[in-house]
């Protein structure tokens, strides 16, 4: 499931999933703009059938944070 998440992030950011890991963030992924961050939020909500709060969205600094919030919504990310 983590791979599914990495692939979704790579698709939105326009890169390769192999370059995405838990430490990937807007500061380490050049194409991760604020606009693409909002697109990613929408894609995550659609793909995993969740709805993030504004506080959760603002709390994200890297992929590990996305995983944490998905887990809080009951999404199993084990591979």
Q: Say yes or no to pLDDT of 59 above 70.
A: yes
User: What is the arithmetic mean of pLDDT over 50-66?
Assistant: 96
Within a domain: 15:
yes
Residue 77 pLDDT: 84
Within a domain: 23:
yes
Within a domain: 77:
no
C-alpha 18/C-alpha 74 separation (Å) is: 25
Residue 44 pLDDT: 97
Range of 42's domain? Answer: 2-72
Domains contained in the chain, number:
1
- CA distances in angstroms from 27 to 20, 30, 33, 60, listed in the order given: 13, 7, 9, 12
User: What is the arithmetic mean of pLDDT over 37-64?
Assistant: 96
CATH number of the CATH domain containing 62: 1.10.1200.10
- CA distances in angstroms from 68 to 22, 30, 63, listed in the order given: 10, 23, 9
C-alpha 51/C-alpha 46 separation (Å) is: 9
Within a domain: 79:
no
Within a domain: 64:
yes
């Amino acid at each position: 499931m983590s791979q599914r998440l990495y692939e979704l992030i790579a698709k939105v950011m326009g890169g390769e999933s192999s370059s995405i890991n838990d430490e990937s963030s807007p500061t380490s992924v050049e194409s991760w703009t604020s606009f693409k961050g909002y697109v990613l939020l929408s894609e995550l909500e659609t793909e995993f059938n969740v709805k993030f709060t504004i506080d959760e969205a603002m709390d994200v600094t890297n992929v590990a944070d996305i995983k944490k919030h998905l887990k809080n919504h009951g999404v199993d990310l084990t591979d």
